[in-house]
Chain A
């Protein structure tokens, strides 16, 4: 019976272009768009252009331009006048500008930019200027190192390293919507009555409805991560087994959430209009669209109330940190399992076979 239900539900899904799009096409579109917007990690890709002007032959200016050119992540762009520097910053052609005149060095930067963007740039450029103007050649004063227990991250991290799992988690939860809609459809068309009249125990009917969506959810994430690796150059720094374990926990969580949604017994129209909004808000809080790392600390903490943030923490560790094993992602896996158990328990308590 379960085999027949799997076959039937997979067939129905294949005929439903709207649901297929929400599970497979939309996430790919989001991955492409967001992946092109974000850059993360030690190697930030193309160096950021910084405009600079100094009077010809000015020793201070030449020292700063030299130091800027030697700093990884920055590309010095000499301009003809101080006003050219200011205009380039205002036009957003460069990230910031340095004007080296007679007095203090002028850092030209958009003060309206978010502190998360402006702060690091301002700090780094101040450091460049200080190093260049130091009376003696300073040795490196600060060396960044991961603490013991945290594996070294990959070099050459692209935006896709974050946006592939982000959108996989966001749209992975849409299987909950698909599942809840399927229950509502069965009730609406009367096929649920027919199933209840069949000589099949009720627990088996419920289980039979969940299994296909669990498998579809696994397939969806396999496709998205597969595309991530094959098309978008996403790397898996840690163990593939850890990735699989985390993915199974995520799909179980998503499916349990679908059961909880179905237990409210709304119509297809109600579910279709409310649940996507709920899922998008959960995804937003969990950092699926904008990484929690760049959120204010309060929002980072609030994000922990949704399973998405735990899943993403786990994925980030597996995908970015070399040598990550299942043990290293125990906390996210346990959290996802706890969410799954909670959703399933509430769903089972609320679920009514007869309505």
Chain B
């Protein structure tokens, strides 16, 4: 049996380019904004939920506004602004990772294992022109209005979607075509809304150059994430990363298939430098393979530890700031990744927590060949090495859909077939 010297180098790939809200952008003026990806952290136990929504809004903060549906009425204290670093840390901690092993010299005596770990995570004045009376005449009630951090928040309840749509338009929000129907169905399901806009004065005073994630805490049996509004003004498919922290175990979607991302696969050494494109291609290929009908599990782990660690687990303080409100129970993280559009994901994501505490991580393995010397074992080693490298190339092709020829070229595989010291097979017979 082969034994490899163990050395871990963890390269993690974060939700790059990600980051919008699960609601939809409503830009003032004609700015064309598309929310292509979101990062949402959901902390949930029993019926209590704390949702943190991070965004990578790239336009002028003046243009930023978002409408977020929530299952219950919410009060002032239920909306909060979180630290972006929390989401970044969650991302880094749960990212797909690359693990390295070094083959031992087949001609040398066994070596003591060496462990090297390294993590490198690749990784925003509400002006109301109309009065509350106008809102009321449209069936829209402004339940509350206040400023949280750099955001001006309006908590709305509405009786009819066209009233809400009219109110939003009259107040300068660009409502994407088709949003009214979605808003209408949410209203009928007793959903409520809040609108967040950047208060430029507060933002300047606080000194943030980016938009911090919004947090909302509510109590509702609905364990779901509204994605339908997000598909209204989206130009093509969107990327969504959902980090769910629960006390018991893994979380899965109940109305869509949850599929584990391929893991524990040996890949060629060049992936070390091409991990980001590899992971993107891998994810795209898996989405394609599942006909874009699945939600992918990328990480499921008790948050007290990790192995190997792409980043250290979140501290108790970080978990608390993320919204973990319970004590004396576990904190299990599930990272779900979904690429969705309206035709394939017609309804909102509905989740359930399972009792599954088995760990899962998207992990890809590199094996560094040994610089084998001259011995009989080295000949066998080189032959097996070539077979292994060929298999690694095929693994990448299977995972990413890349061309086998390109893989072999990048791996200089042809030259690995017959090394200068290697004998032909028949030379070893007699």
Chains A and B form a bound pair: no
